[in-house]
Amino acid sequence: MRELKYLLSKYAATSYMDDQLSPTTDETSLQLLPSDETDILVDLQESSDPAKFVLDIILNPIIPRCKKGDHAVIIDGSNIFLLEQLMKISPSLKISPCVKKDALKLALDLKVNMKENTENSLVVLGFLLLLSIYELLTSFDEDEVLELFAFVAQHKIAVELFRTLGFANKLSGILI
């Protein structure tokens, strides 16, 4: 896990200093070597609680980001990458009620952020990833969630999210 934190801190520092990844930028993945990406997935698989670990990284970023409001959560490319990696192993995850509760709180915060920042598809994508991985769809209006796919259709993972959230039977009304 120490190596994972190192890779993420190295990326976060580079992104922060180069101003490559801001809250309104639409980057969707880390600029890592393929071996680094594999290492991150392996580290998550070997973690005792990968769902909690990823949630902690999102809630407590390595480099604090400025945003309106004291406790606003910002989803960036590194968070999306981690959530995508977590989604790869999510069918085998055992998520504790406490972690699920924290994920729901984050999802609710992101929902508020989405209303204020509709042009940032990363916020919407992060929200949908949380709903899928932490099995939170029942806590939200399905029709509202379904409408969000219009904002993330350009992301490769959107089709997989559409399927994992159970919307495949409603595909005729949406073009992804």
What pLDDT, in 10s, does the model give residues 16-75? 333 333 333 333 334 444 456 778 888 888 889 999 999 999 998 776 665 555 556 778
- DSSP classification of residue 1: -
CB atoms within 10 A of CB 73: 20
What pLDDT, in 10s, does the model give residues 108-119? 999 988 887 767
Return the domain boundaries, the chain. Answer: 2-173
- DSSP classification of residue 96: -
DSSP, collapsed to helix, strand or coil, labels residue 136 as coil
With tokens 């990696």, the residue in question is 85
Over its C-alpha atoms, the chain yields an Rg (Å, rounded) of 15
C-alpha span between 42 and 105 (Å, rounded) = 27
pTM, two decimal places:
0.76
